Amino acid sequence: MQKADPIDADKLEFGIYSPLDDFSSLNFTNRDGSDPLDVDAFIHGNPQDYVENNISAIYTVRYEHNLVGFFTLSMSNIGKGKLQSDGLFSIPYSDYPALLLGQLGVERNYQGRGIGQNICKFCRGIGQDLNERAACAFLILRTTVELAKRYYAPKCKFKWKPKQEGKTWMYYRLFTTKKRYLFENISITESVTAKVTKAVDVERMKNNAPLCSICKEEKEIVLRDGNFKLCKVCQDKLKEKYGY
C-alpha cells in the first residue's frame, strides 16, 4: 500500500474519460470495504452509457501517470431550502443553477493523500468557467453525513444543513453577490478542452476586475470605450482639467 503522504498536486493530470481507460484492477471502496455511494459499482459497471446518453461527463485523474481516480460532472440545480441562511441572496429564487459533482472516486491505495481535495478545486474551476457563459451559482454534491462531517465540510469547504443520519446535499458557492470569484485562474492541463482553474480562496485576478484605466483602482465604471474604462472620480478630474 502507498504511504499516506500528501501528493504533489503538480503531478496530477486531469483528462476526459475514454473506454480505453482500464479501471478493472482498481478498488474505489472505502478502507473497510464498504461502498456507500456506489462509487466502485459505478466505475466497474458501464460508465460509457452515462457519456453516450449525455447524463454525465466523466473525468479521469492520474498521478505520476498512474490512473488513481475519476469524477463525474453534470448540470443540475439546488433548492433554496437546502442552503444555509447566510444572507448572501437578495432575490428569493426557489432554485439556483449548479454544477453537480455526481461521483468522486479515489483508488484505495491513494485515499487520504489530498487527491479528493484537488478534484474539488478542479471542479470549482470548471464551475467558474461555465458561469462566464451560462449562470452557475454553486458546485454541489450528495454524500453521507459521515463524509460531510469528516471530509467535505472541514477539508473541501463545502457547506450543508446538518442532518442526523443518511445522506445530505452539500454546496460550495462559486462567487459572491458582486461576482467576485473565489479562485485564481491557474491552468491545470491541456488535456481538458474547457478552460479550467485551480481554486484558491482569494478574489478573482485583478485583470478580470473592473479597473479604472487611469487610477487602476477597482471602482464603479461610468464610461467604457473598448478596453478603456473610467471611474467617476477620474471622469470628474478630466472634466475639471480639460473642460469636458
pLDDT at 209 over 70: no
pLDDT at 232 over 90: no
Residue type, 66: N
Residue type, 65: H
Q: Lowest-confidence range among 57-61, 136-140, 188-192, 216-220?
A: 188-192
CA 186 – CA 209 distance, rounded (Å): 16
Per-residue confidence (pLDDT) for residue 218, from 0 to 100? 66
Confidence band for 226, pLDDT divided at 50, 70 and 90: low
Confidence band for 238, pLDDT divided at 50, 70 and 90: confident
Per-residue confidence (pLDDT) for residue 1, from 0 to 100? 44
pLDDT at 183 over 60: no
pTM equals 0.73
Answer with the residue of higher pLDDT: 208 or 71: 71
Per-residue confidence (pLDDT) for residue 90, from 0 to 100? 59
The cell numbers describing 44, all together, are 466497474
DSSP letters, 43-103, are HTS-THHHHHTTS-EEEEEEETTEEEEEEEEEEEEEEGGGS---S--SS--SEEEEEEEEE
Per-residue confidence (pLDDT) for residue 179, from 0 to 100? 52
Any idea which residue has 502507498 for its cell?
A: 2
Any idea which residue has 476526459 for its cell?
A: 16
Encode pLDDT of 2-40 as tens digits.
457 899 988 899 989 998 999 999 999 998 999 999 999
CA 170 – CA 123 distance, rounded (Å): 14
Max mean pLDDT range (79-83, 154-158, 219-223): 154-158
Answer with the residue of higher pLDDT: 60 or 219: 60
pLDDT at 188 over 60: no
pLDDT at 193 over 90: no
**Mean pLDDT value across residues 240-244:** 73
Encode pLDDT of 69-114 as tens digits.
999 999 999 988 888 776 556 566 788 999 999 999 999 999 999 9
**Domains in the chain, ordered, with CATH?**
9-205 (3.40.630.30), 210-244 (no CATH)
Per-residue confidence (pLDDT) for residue 47, from 0 to 100? 95
pLDDT at 189 over 80: no
Contact status, residue 175 vs residue 181, Cβ threshold 8 Å: yes
CA 227 – CA 214 distance, rounded (Å): 12
**Mean pLDDT value across residues 134-158:** 93
**Mean pLDDT value across residues 35-57:** 95
**Mean pLDDT value across residues 210-233:** 76
Render the burial of 134-159: b for 16+ CB within 10 Å, e for the rest.
eebbbbbbebbeebbeebbbeebbbb
- The continuous run of DSSP H or E covering 116 comes out as helix 115-131
